[in-house]
């Protein structure tokens, strides 16, 4: 098992797109660990020039050298190739650690975006200082908010026939899931769509509420350590995740009602496969014990995740 470091730089990032044709910037094997830094913020989202906050030179280099498409602002580190991965396999991503990379982040309301576009027609950007030692953000109205960093985007490449696709909506391959449960100690399982999987990560969030209602979280640069495993003993249609206490199934669609159906059907399927109970019993159990939560409502395709305690499953899937 090998350990690697992959930092965000003009040579290792893409801006706002996934594409099976993107060449890998790193190739690893199953069981390997990679520490990955991510970048965030376009030029208008940076701290003021007279600020005491630090803008990394690597971010400024990305602004100068990396093609900026008209579309999502996500700067994605990768892709990383996992040797031997084939369509139909599962990529297991164990999230070991997440550290705050910047001493600042930003929050942006975009005109016409968010959950209440008719109520907030003007755009606004605020820069929020981050105390990395205390792990709090200092809001402009003098309040501190505890930070719980996670990556809004983790994804494998989409099928080759789709070509280049926007990083904004979440998909079967993962992407902009904005699921705040994916913190250290959690494991994400992604259905592989292309040879070598081609994993990318970005959209660092220092903290976010379920829904991400004004369009963005506290967007910042993060450094994550991930352990990757290739699973050929399992197949998935949609991403699922595991925390120390829960299993999580996810559904994405422009219609929030369809998100509920997808995520709930995936949880019923998972329960039946692990426990042998009937679909009817699994449906009843979900009504009694599962929690349906809104991941986000602002990325075109919305997200629902269903959480059910592990004690109802018996042994782990790992």
Q: Are 179 and 126 in contact (CB under 8 A)?
A: no
The mean pLDDT value of the chain amounts to 96
**How many structural domains is the chain composed of?**
2
Count of other CB atoms within 10 angstroms of residue 140: 10
Q: Kindly calculate the radius of gyration of the chain based on its CA atoms and give it in whole angstroms.
A: 19
Instruction: Count Cα atoms within 13 angstroms, Cβ side, for 41.
Output: 30
pLDDT at 81 over 60: yes
For residue 285, being part of any structural domain is answered with yes
Q: Does residue 317 form part of some domain? A: no
Question: Do residues 165 and 308 share a domain?
Answer: no
Q: Helix and strand tally (H, E) in the chain?
A: 3, 21
| Segment 195-242, tens digit of pLDDT | 999 999 999 999 999 999 999 999 999 999 999 999 999 999 999 999
pLDDT, average across residues 49-56: 95
For residue range 291-309, what is the model confidence (pLDDT) as tens digits?
999 999 999 999 999 999 9
End-to-end Cα distance, the chain = 18
- The answer on 139 and 36 residing in a single domain is yes
What's the pLDDT at 315?
Answer: 58
Does a structural domain hold residue 288? yes
* CA distances for 234 relative to 101, 123, 273, angstroms: 34, 45, 11
CA-CA distance, 78 to 151, in Å (whole number)? 14
Among 231, 257, 274, where does a domain finish? 231
Confidence (pLDDT) at 191: 98
Given this model, what pLDDT does residue 66 score? Answer: 94
Three-class secondary structure of residue 297 per DSSP: coil
The reported pLDDT for the residue numbered 260 is 98
Q: What is the 3-state secondary structure (H, E, C) of 104-173?
A: EEEEEECCCCCCCCCCCCCCEEEEEEEECCCCEEECCCCCEEECCCEEEEEECCCCHHHCCEECCCCECC
Binned at pLDDT 50, 70 and 90, residue 271 comes out as very high
Q: Are residues 134 and 277 in the same domain?
A: no
Edge to edge, the sheet with strand 144-146 lists: 104-109, 124-131, 136-138, 144-146
Give dist(CA 115, CA 109) in Å, integer: 10
Phi-psi category of residue 114: left, alpha or beta, with phi > 0 → left and psi -120 to 50 → alpha: left
| Domain contains 13 | yes
Query: What does DSSP say about strands 13-15 and 124-131: parallel, antiparallel, or unpaired?
Result: unpaired
C-alpha span between 123 and 120 (Å, rounded): 8
User: Do residues 222 and 275 share a domain?
Assistant: no
**What is the pLDDT, as a whole number, of residue 51?**
93
Tell me the average pLDDT across 138-161: 97
Please report, rounded to a whole number, the percentage of residues in the chain having pLDDT higher than 90: 95
Q: Are residues 191 and 306 in the same domain?
A: no
Mark whether 114 and 187 lie in a shared domain. Answer: yes
- Write out pLDDT tens, residues 82-136: 999 999 999 999 999 999 999 999 999 999 999 999 999 999 999 999 999 999 9
CATH number of the domain where residue 275 is located: 3.10.28.20
Regarding whether 61 and 30 lie in a shared domain, the answer is yes
Whichever domain contains 44, its CATH number is 2.60.120.580
56-77 pLDDT, tens digit each: 999 999 999 998 876 788 999 9
pTM of the model: 0.96
% of residues, the chain, pLDDT over 70:
98
Residue 318 lies in a domain: no
Longest dimension (CA), the chain: 63
Residue pair 226/96 in contact by the 8 Å Cβ criterion: yes
Which among 244, 236, 243 has a CA at the least distance from the CA of 269?
236
Domain boundary among 231, 264, 291: 231
pLDDT at 68: 83
Residues 126 and 195 in one domain: yes
Name the one residue in this structure whose structure tokens are 């390997």.
32
Host domain of residue 280 = 240-312
Please indicate, yes or no, whether residues 202 and 308 belong to a single structural domain of this protein: no
Q: Let me know whether 179 and 298 are in one domain.
A: no
Distances (CA, A) of 302 to 81, 82, 89, 113: 28, 29, 25, 13
Q: Are residues 253 and 206 in the same domain?
A: no
Residues 63, 189, single domain; the answer is yes
Question: Domain boundary residue among 171, 204, 231?
Answer: 231
């Amino acid at each position: 098992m090998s350990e690697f470091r992959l930092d965000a730089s003009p040579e290792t990032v893409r801006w706002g797109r996934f594409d099976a044709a993107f060449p890998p910037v790193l190739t690893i094997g199953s069981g390997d660990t990679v520490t990955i830094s991510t970048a965030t913020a376009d030029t208008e989202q940076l701290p003021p020039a007279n600020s005491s906050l630090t803008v990394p030179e690597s971010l400024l280099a990305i602004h100068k050298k990396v093609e900026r498409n008209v579309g999502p602002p996500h700067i994605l580190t990768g892709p990383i190739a996992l040797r031997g991965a084939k369509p139909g396999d599962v990529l297991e991503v164990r999230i070991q650690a997440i550290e705050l990379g910047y001493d600042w982040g930003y929050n942006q309301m975009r005109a016409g975006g968010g959950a209440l576009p008719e109520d907030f027609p003007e755009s606004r950007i605020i820069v929020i200082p981050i105390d990395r030692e205390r792990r709090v953000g200092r809001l402009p109205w003098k309040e501190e908010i505890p930070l719980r960093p996670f990556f809004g985007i983790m994804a494998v490449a989409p099928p080759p026939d789709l070509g280049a696709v926007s990083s904004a909506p979440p998909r079967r391959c993962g992407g902009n899931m904005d699921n705040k449960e994916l913190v250290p100690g959690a494991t994400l399982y992604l259905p592989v769509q292309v040879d070598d999987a081609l994993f990318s990560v970005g959209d660092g969030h220092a903290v976010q509420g379920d829904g991400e209602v004004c369009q963005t979280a506290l967007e910042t640069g993060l450094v994550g350590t991930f352990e990757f495993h290739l699973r050929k003993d399992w197949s998935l249609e949609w991403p699922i995740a595991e925390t120390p206490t829960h299993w999580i199934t996810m559904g994405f669609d422009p219609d929030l009602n369809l998100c509920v159906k997808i995520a709930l059907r995936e949880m019923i399927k998972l329960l039946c496969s692990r426990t042998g109970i009937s679909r009817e019993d699994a449906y009843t159990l979900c009504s009694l014990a599962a929690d349906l939560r809104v991941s986000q409502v602002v990325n075109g395709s919305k997200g629902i995740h269903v959480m059910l305690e592990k004690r109802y499953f018996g042994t782990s899937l790992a």
